[in-house]
Amino acid sequence: MGEMKVFGWTGKILRIDLSKKKVSTEPTWNYAEEFVGSRGVNARILYNETRPGSDPFDPDSRLILGTGPLTGTAAPMSGRVTMTAKSPLTSLYADSGIGGFWGPELKFAGYDNLVIQGRSDSPVYVWINNDDIEIRKADHFWGKGCRETEKIINQELGDPEVKSVTIGLAGENLVRYANVRTMLKHAAGRCGMGAVMGSKRLKAVAVRGTKSINIAKPEEFLEYVEKSIAAIKSSPSYEYWCNVGGGLAGRPTDITFDMELAGVGFVNGPAWPEYKRNSLTEFNLKYGTAMVGCFNCPVNCLTHIKLPSVGSQPWGCAPVVDFMGRIMNPDPKKAFECVILCDHYGIDTTSTAVNVFFAMDCYKRGIITKKDTDGLELEYGDVDATKELIHKIARREGIGDILAEGVLRASKKIGKNSELFAPHVKGLEVYGGIAIRPLKGYALATAIGPRGDHTRSWNEAETLDVPGNFLPAKMLKEARVHWTRVFGTEKACCHNEYEGKGSASAWQEFRIAMLDCIGMCKFGLWSGSFLTDEELYTGLCITATGVDLDERARYEAAERVLNLEKAFNLREGATRNHDNLPDKYFSTPIAAGLHAGGLIERERFEKMKDEYYAAKGWDANGVPTLEKLVKLRLQDVADDLKKSGHLKKEP
């Protein structure tokens, strides 16, 4: 192909085989035409190169890090990377986003995606320095924490501008929900990416790039950049999110607890009288020093906390609710201590909190005793015990070795009906930050989401009619009008409605996948609705790449990706029955509070799934139809699904 100039993309995918110690590249255009980039290109490579039924820890397993054509450009919110692998928790498709500054640096080094395969004989790290790739020894910092590792690498390589993704002890010990981290807080948190990396004895990937990303129409692109930044800043909730006291760690989360929409414990239900109103806002105001975030982001959703003699790092998002509501601890200070520990070990706060609370539930019911916990008493809300468990899990010591397997496997091992207290979907621990029973659409999204959760599938319109919603009245009204128009029914804005939620999930999946594939942050479409104008995304894409990546093209690529992800799961044996929720949400109404009586009705839940599958153009079993796959030019996938019996072979 020669040195033809490429715009937006770098044009090269880097492949590293840790078994053969081989480095190679291939053209991004092998995949980008159909799958654009990032999540899309990653998904195609994973599908092509994963043997169905294989063990996620197999040396042959793929760990893929992917940027999109807009990643690293001047477009706002363009700093994220998608990590893709077969999850050690679910043995299904998984993708996990990671922010910070690593993704742009990979682009500046000249690569769109990085595919890692094989397994090293000894601990190593990869060093990508523009065209020079080295596989270097990591023995001397194997065992170190994530941030420690980064600093050691920067010292060793003599350049403070090197960006690294790292694993901690949890990843090294193959804790099934170990994460991959960068800087002080950013993480590819869910689904166990860190464990896959650890199984390859890969401690870190360090990158430094000084090349340029070419832009097809620089002046016009700059105009779209300016317009996009202005759009973000003028979004109604910008001020609300982007100041200390607000953001993902502060007032919005306080209000979620006030609305009793945050998960508390498991069976208990979201009413939580011990919660002190405004406690998170006050904590963040007192100890927060700045809002921080990712490359090129005007939002900066994380709050940097400086807590004397405890630590100095950002927090926000899931970790806050994980160590407050989920384990029933009302003290933000103690929650912060748990977060620091998890970030050091490189372990997903959401899954960790679920496993900790699972142990607490089992202890409360006598399913496990002090004998099993090495003398630890596991009372609800006991943060000291929580911290002990985090240590044990990361180190795989005592009961930690069982919990490190995740609640699905742990409950099987423990037995005694402990499965009743193991909240997971397809093996992935249920996110505790949002209560399931009050929000029917959220319940559906959690059940049908490609990786086992709601994040790529939930439209938040249904929270508009929940009392106590923090949006100003005028915004609430405008939002209702907007979403009613989009979905053709007001029911999408009603949390107790079952109808309309299937279509809403399908719609959301397209929008999120479209964003993911070009390399922009999902937060543009969530809560704050910072950047929702498809015309701006189109403008950015076309002027950056010179390719006709308009809304229709992105939509089609997104549909291709979503069908491919579904086919991957079908190939691994997932069925309609796996699109399900823990029994408790169907059997136990919420006992008290604003949403007392809240329950998911099984029959209506199944109808939601029917509506969702139909909206996706899939059959009643959730299998993409032959017509759909052919139209999307996924003939090979259709052939695979015929072989597996999901699709009928022609007579």
620 binds another protein (CB under 8 A): no
Q: Are strands 302-307 and 311-315 parallel, antiparallel or unpaired?
A: antiparallel
Closer Cβ to another protein, 304 or 396, answer by number = 304
Among 56, 252, 298, 400, binds another protein (CB under 8 A): 298
Among 46, 133, 195, 225, binds another protein (CB under 8 A): 225
Site for another protein in 70-109 (CB under 8 A): 72-74, 76, 101, 108
CA 230 from chain centre, in angstroms, equals 27
Q: Is-contact 76 221, C-beta < 8 A?
A: no
Q: How many chain residues bind another protein (CB under 8 A)? A: 38
Site for another protein in 423-462 (CB under 8 A): none
Among 134, 218, 488, 591, binds another protein (CB under 8 A): 218
DSSP β-bridge partners for residue 40: none
54 binds another protein (CB under 8 A): no
Smallest gap from Cβ 614 to another protein, in A, equals 42
Maximum separation of any 2 CA atoms in the chain, in Å: 72
CA–CA dist 266, 557 (Å, integer): 38
Closer Cβ to another protein, 244 or 564, answer by number = 244
Helix (H) or strand (E) holding 17: strand 12-17
CA–CA dist 518, 36 (Å, integer): 7
304 binds another protein (CB under 8 A): yes
Helix (H, G, I), strand (E, B) or coil at 165: strand
CA–CA dist 545, 528 (Å, integer): 28
Closer Cβ to another protein, 246 or 441, answer by number = 246
Q: Is-contact 90 237, C-beta < 8 A?
A: no
Options 162-170, 307-315, 399-407, 499-507: segment touching another protein (CB under 8 A): 307-315
Smallest gap from Cβ 442 to another protein, in A, equals 31
Smallest gap from Cβ 542 to another protein, in A, equals 16
Closer Cβ to another protein, 130 or 625, answer by number = 130
Smallest gap from Cβ 259 to another protein, in A, equals 29
510 binds another protein (CB under 8 A): no
Burial of 439 (0-12, 13-18, 19+ CB in 10 A): buried
Q: Compute how many other C-beta atoms are within 10 angstroms of the C-beta atom of residue 171.
A: 30
Closer Cβ to another protein, 211 or 277, answer by number = 211
CA–CA dist 510, 532 (Å, integer): 13
| Cβ burial 26-41 (10 Å sphere, 16+ → b, else e) | eebeebbebbbbbbbb
Question: What does the DSSP assignment read for 237-302?
Answer: THHHHSSTT-GGGSHHHHHHHHTT-S--TTTT-S--TTPPTTHHHHHHHHHEEEEE-STT-SS--E
Closer Cβ to another protein, 209 or 502, answer by number = 209
Smallest gap from Cβ 230 to another protein, in A, equals 9
210 binds another protein (CB under 8 A): yes
Name the residue with tokens 């005028």.
474
Contacting residues for 151 by C-beta, under 8 A, at least 6 apart:
none
Site for another protein in 226-285 (CB under 8 A): 226, 229, 232-233
Among 174, 195, 213, 341, binds another protein (CB under 8 A): 213
Smallest gap from Cβ 294 to another protein, in A, equals 8
Options 81-89, 220-228, 319-327, 636-644: segment touching another protein (CB under 8 A): 220-228
Closer Cβ to another protein, 168 or 432, answer by number = 168
110 binds another protein (CB under 8 A): no
Contacting residues for 43 by C-beta, under 8 A, at least 6 apart:
35, 84, 93, 95, 561, 564, 565, 568
Name the residue with tokens 């620089």.
218
Smallest gap from Cβ 14 to another protein, in A, equals 19
Name the residue with tokens 């479209």.
514
Contacting residues for 369 by C-beta, under 8 A, at least 6 apart:
363
Smallest gap from Cβ 553 to another protein, in A, equals 22
Binding mask 148-187 for another protein (x = CB under 8 A): -----------------------------------xx---
224 binds another protein (CB under 8 A): no
Smallest gap from Cβ 210 to another protein, in A, equals 5
Closer Cβ to another protein, 163 or 326, answer by number = 163
Smallest gap from Cβ 300 to another protein, in A, equals 5
Q: Are strands 163-166 and 202-208 parallel, antiparallel or unpaired?
A: antiparallel
Smallest gap from Cβ 185 to another protein, in A, equals 9
547 binds another protein (CB under 8 A): no
CA–CA dist 477, 490 (Å, integer): 12
Options 165-173, 270-278, 305-313, 560-568: segment touching another protein (CB under 8 A): 305-313
CA–CA dist 618, 379 (Å, integer): 46
290 binds another protein (CB under 8 A): yes
Among 82, 91, 179, 296, binds another protein (CB under 8 A): 296
Task: Locate all alpha helices (DSSP H) within 488-550, ordered by sequence.
Answer: 501-518, 534-545
Smallest gap from Cβ 1 to another protein, in A, equals 21
Among 116, 215, 561, 638, binds another protein (CB under 8 A): 215
CA–CA dist 386, 391 (Å, integer): 9
Name the residue with tokens 């609370």.
357
Among 221, 257, 345, 358, binds another protein (CB under 8 A): 221
Name the residue with tokens 């052919």.
630
CA–CA dist 43, 446 (Å, integer): 20
Give the interface with another protein as residue ranges (CB under 8 A).
Answer: 72-74, 76, 101, 108, 183-184, 210-215, 218, 221-222, 225-226, 229, 232-233, 289-298, 300, 304, 306, 312-314
